[in-house]
Amino acid sequence: MASREDLAIIRAARAGQSEAQLALGRRYLFGGNGLPQSFATALHWLDRAARQGVPDAWTLIGEHIPYEVVAQAPKPLDYVLWYERAFEAGRKLAGLSFARLVLAHQAQPEAQAMLGKAVKALESEANAGTAEAQWLLSQQQGGRKPADVAAATGEQHAAEQVTATQWAQKAADAGVGQAQLALADAAWLRQDRGDFIRRSLPLARSLLAQYGADLPQLNAPSEGLARHLGEGNIALLSRLAQVLAEINEVNADEAQSLLELAAYADDKSAQLSLGLFFARMNENGGRSFPGFGSANYKKAIRWLTLAGERGLAAAWYALSRIYLKPEFSQRNLADAQHYLERAAEMGHALGQLECGSSAWRNRREDPANDVRAVYWLQKAAVQDNADARELLAKIADRPAAAAWAVEARGHMTRDFLSAYPFLAARLELAILFGLTRPEALLIDLKQADCGHCLVVDIRDYYARSKRRLILIETGDERQVLNRIGRLFEDVDCSLNGPEGNYRQRLYRLKTALPQDDDEREEESDLAEES
């Protein structure tokens, strides 16, 4: 409760007396005499006194009011003048707060005018060994606006980046967590795993010492743990989890705890890594973590399922490998295939390759398996999987123009093509996909078009032919097939349809060609049909 003296000072301060405002601000700043300590209230009264020209008021603001208090004010830049004056009067702490205020609001015109002085204040504090100033200076020099970077020469920009890194290194060595995280992040982005491990492992161990005791009480991912760790630390742990198998100085217990810390913070990549750790395998299904003991497939399945449900195809692929393992007591080929297909459907290249290879191996069980094989192998090949491309080349043909169709099309007049649109369409198919003459004349496009490939199978009508698959690889090919498909949409393409039997179709083609064109092949074709 305020004393009579305090009440008198409050009345005088409210009446506008600067000395009373200074005294009241001082009392709220340090507390005591019946008034609680309140930086926000102290800032209010000291600011009013400073605006009346009381030097001690801005000195107290610069020395004792933390930046975090001013940052929460409606207009933080209203107080930047007092920090500037306190810094000019030799108060070093005021210089750091002054610089932070200016840099935090440098997009505003009033702050831009003070930017140069703010940077000098930071440099002064950084050279004096203030770790926070070193980190802020690193951010300022390393994160300039694109326009400023464009105006600088390549050598200037490179030199500034080196200086920024040096300041960040000094701040990190002094224990600034954000600087340590930033350097670890930079090492990860430039794919320097050795430097990343060197920087991230001490940070991860520090987090483990702080939060590891809570892990045994957790049964599921915890939002509370995620909030305490923060996004930056979770990202660090998640990345470290991906390279943990490469760190020799980490034993099995510590590795498990580090992985669990990020996994329980609900990071899906860490959940995948933890599942792989329990399975003692890598993402490709091979063995990993040698010397870390035997696998625990029950725990592995739990974490891999969580990661898979969060959208990681690699988790489903790993599960498919687990259910294939002979040493797994619940080995199940049906479950293995189910998880494999889930991984493939989500775009996992190895899963797609395995689905395609499996379908091809089992093509005798189902004639359509070769079509399924091509479907999955095409998807894997798009992801630059060499094995998929090699197997695909053995299974299916690539489109190539048929010379006979190109020549035949050249002999046909526009009137003839208009009179026989079905024949014209079949010739276009032959030119585009390299069909033989019997294939072009007898193919039923409605049955042949599987979306990703053409199934050319006319053995019921032409015994010498073989079933073959032709890839559909481009958008132009797809458009041509769609257009021709609409032409044949309501047409019976069998030998009982309007085009007639093979002899009639071949005769119609022959009428447009020179009399001696391929007569021997024609006679052979007709004899075969008979």
Other beta carbons less than 10 A from residue 212's beta carbon = 15
Parallel, antiparallel, or unpaired for β 468-471 and 453-456?
antiparallel
pLDDT digits (tens, 9 = 90+) for 92-141: 778 888 888 888 888 888 777 788 887 887 777 777 777 777 777 777 76
- Which residue is it, tokens 């005791």? 213
Q: Can you list the alpha helix ranges (DSSP code H) found in 174-332?
A: 177-189, 193-211, 223-242, 252-264, 268-279, 297-309, 313-322
Q: What is the pLDDT of residue 527?
A: 45
Q: Are 497 and 491 in contact (CB under 8 A)?
A: yes
Provide the percentage of residues in the chain whose pLDDT is more than 90.
46
Is the pLDDT score of 371 beyond 70? yes
Q: Are 307 and 343 in contact (CB under 8 A)?
A: no
Residues contacting 290, CB < 8 A, separation 6+: none
Is the pLDDT score of 526 beyond 50? no
- For residue 396, the surrounding DSSP H or E stretch is strand 396-397
Q: What is the pLDDT of residue 514?
A: 67
Q: Are 45 and 38 in contact (CB under 8 A)?
A: no
What is the rounded CA–CA span in Å between residue 349 and residue 355? Answer: 10
The DSSP bridge partners found for residue 455 are 469
Confidence of residue 248 (pLDDT cuts 50, 70, 90): confident
Is the pLDDT score of 149 beyond 50? no
Q: What is the pTM of this model?
A: 0.72
What is the rounded CA–CA span in Å between residue 363 and residue 361? Answer: 6
pLDDT digits (tens, 9 = 90+) for 285-335: 999 888 888 999 999 999 999 999 999 999 999 999 999 999 999 999 999
Q: What is the pLDDT of residue 517?
A: 46
